Structure 1
Amino acid sequence: MEKVRPKKHLGQHFLTDLSIAEKIAASVTGHQGVRKVLEIGPGMGVLTDFLIKGGWDLKLIDIDKESIAYLHKKYPELSENIIEADFLRYDLGKIMGGDYIIAGNFPYNISSQIFFKVLENRDQVLEVVCMLQKEVAKRIASPKGNKDYGILSVFLQAYFDIDYLFSVPPGVFSPPPKVDSGVIRLTRNGVAVLDCDEKLFFRVVKMGFGTRRKTLRNALKSLNLSDELKKDPVFDKRAEQLSVSEFISLTNKLQASWKQ
């Protein structure tokens, strides 16, 4: 079969190192006994081969027509499970049903959007094992107080335990990206619902990091902070200094002050 041409506008960098593909596939644990795996952007199936060997109940989704045609030829036994679609726009409940795992070598240009989609489907996505730009991978796994810690760190860490697994150099891709890559694993934690108003929590986090060099007193000033609330020491801190639980506490303090 003819190889698929990597397309720049789709952010395609095909992994060529089989040992790394095998290592990524081996990092899928099957959290809570889940066997269904949705692979995003399988390309020519380098990772797919090892997921099949692992015995996972596999479905593939790719927006690239050329990749889809290649995958149908390579895996005729998976024909009904190969989906040509934009992952970001697709109703995942239609194709997966119940709990499932997401795996893949994520296109760098949409990796953050993929994770926001994961958050939307967090009640069904119990595990994510993926490779993406190292900078983004580090950001997602970063603890509070680190310069990499940000909005996506807080949102994902609220619902997932996150492990940075290993780094990958550019030379094992075709074409090589200009940056290093990183592999991370997200495992759903036991939090079904945050112990606060979730919409307000998301708003507070976004506002806090929107002007991350400012103290929370200044970053959140448009939220009608009472003079009494402003005295709370938490407002002397910057957003990057707060853990998920501290953002939850801050959200509850804000809501309580508005009811007084």
Structure 2
Amino acid sequence: MTGSDDLRDPDALIRRAKRGNPEFDQHFLVDDRVLDRLPGYLPEAADRSHVLEIGGGTGALTDRLLAAAPADGQVTVVERDPDLVGFLREEFADAIESGALTVIGGDALEVDLPKFSASVSNLPYGASSEIAFDLLPRNRPLVLMFQQEFAERMVAGPGEDDYGRLSVSAQHYADVEIVEHVPAEAFDPRPRVDSAVVRCTPREPEYEVADESFFLRFVKALFTQRRKTMRNAVRNTGHISGLETPDAVVDAAEESLMSKRAGTVSPAEFAALAQLARQVDPGVGDRGG
């Protein structure tokens, strides 16, 4: 691994790149200490043979990922700002020529992502949720930078104020934990909010889900009525979940569960209720969006 003195200075990269396009809502991470730590947040047993970075920016993190890669490892960077794509290809021409780095120009939600073994990314704030839920089902270790509020919602547990649809959905795919809080002054330009680094370690859920699409849609529906009891939430959201017989689901479920509110229901309880809903209304998986 390259020593820290040999790594590119993030401020110098920004100067050489003449920044990016402000229309892309870019906030470049410039704190060397945070940048140096990010690759090390991958789980110890993670396969580092092909690391994906989404939102390469001016390449400060890219540089650290290349330095941390094994001898025959690869890094792929996706960047949608065409000016920065050109800059990255020029700045890292040697790594590209050697096959250690690939730079893909385009929106991460629109391009075909390569097969990768892990991802370490400072995600663009505006698309962080969509990108995260594109990556999570791929069952790979992830180290992702989010707005702090979003990160806290991802890791929240039942009964906590931040617990919601995002918590259940993220924790369905992985063990999620905040590994570092990052202040706004670590970025240039400085965003209005603080950030946090979330580590996602993939694992199978502790419960069975026969129809993942319906399960996630069902959870989404119930959290639109989080202030209502589960009884009322199930009845009021059939148009979202796709249930045609919500009353039958309520009647078949345990009274103790129906008396709770969504914010106190565990992922396993949501899963069991979704399974029950499919038994009561077998065609539910064919309906809804």
TM above 0.5, yes or no, is yes
SS in 2 for 1:81: strand
Which amino acid in structure 1 is aligned with residue 31 of structure 2?
D
SS at match of 2:178: strand
The structural deviation recorded for 1:195 is 3.0
Pick the aligned partner of 2:103 from 82, 85, 104: 82
Contact 1:72–1:78 (8 Å) recurs in 2:
no
Q: Give the drift of 1:30.
A: 6.1
Partner of 2:286: none
Residue 235 of structure 1 is aligned with which of 247, 251, 258?
258
CA distances 1:177-226 after superposition (whole Å, capped 9, x unpaired): 00001011001113599433222211210111112111111111133222
Q: Partner of 2:8 in structure 1?
A: none
What amino acid is aligned across from residue 50 of structure 1 in structure 2? R
Whichever of the two has the greater Rg, that structure is 2
Query: How far 1:28 sits from its partner (Å)?
Result: 2.1
Deviation at 1:248, TM superposition (A): 0.8
Tell me the TM-score normalised to structure 2 length: 0.81
Structure 1 distance, partners of 2:118, 2:156, is: 22
Within the candidate set 252, 256, 259, 2:279 is matched to 256
1:63 aligns with 2:77: no
CA distance in 1, matches of 2:198, 2:85: 26
Letter paired with 1:206: K
Mind listing any 5+ residue stretches in structure 2 that lack a counterpart? 1-14, 283-289
Post-superposition Cα deviations, 1:46-80, rounded to whole Å, max 9, x if no partner, equal 11111111114211110011111111111113436
CA positional deviation for 1:27: 0.9
Q: Give the superposition deviation at 1:255.
A: 2.0
Q: Which residue of 1 aligns with 2:226?
A: 212
Question: Which residue of 2 is the match for residue 104 of structure 1?
Answer: 121
Relative distance call for 1:244 and 1:4 in structure 2 (3 A) is farther
CA shift in 2, pair 1:77/1:30, >3 Å = farther
Unaligned runs of 5+ in 1: none
Counterpart in the other structure of 1:181? 195
Q: Deviations over 1:93-125 (max 9, x none)?
A: xx22xx521211111111111112124xx24x4
RCO higher in 1 or 2 (8 Å CA, sep ≥ 6)? 1
| Corresponding residue to 1:17 among 31, 34, 38 | 31
1:91 aligned residue = 112
Q: Distance in 2 between matches of 1:193 and 1:65?
A: 44
Partner of 1:134: 148
**SS of equivalent to 2:199:** strand
- Residue 32 to residue 15, structure 1, CA distance change in 2 (3 Å): closer
Q: Does structure 1 residue 44 correspond to structure 2 residue 65? A: no
Q: Check conservation: 2:207, 2:271, Cα contact below 8 A.
A: no
Question: 1:193/1:83 Cα in 2 relative to 1: closer, same or farther (>3 Å)?
Answer: farther
Shift of 1:256: 2.5
Deviations along 1:233-255, whole A, 9 cap, x unmatched?
21111112122111111111222
Q: Distance in 2 between matches of 1:192 and 1:113?
A: 24
Aligned residues: 252
Question: What amino acid sits opposite 1:72 in the alignment?
Answer: R
2:19 equivalent to 1:5: yes
Structure 1 equivalent of residue 159 of structure 2: 145
> Counterpart amino acid of 1:85?
G
Match of 1:163 in 2: 177
Residue deviations 1:2-59, cap 9 Å, x none? Answer: 2242433312100111111011121123645342111011111111111111114211
Letter in structure 1 aligned against 2:35:
A
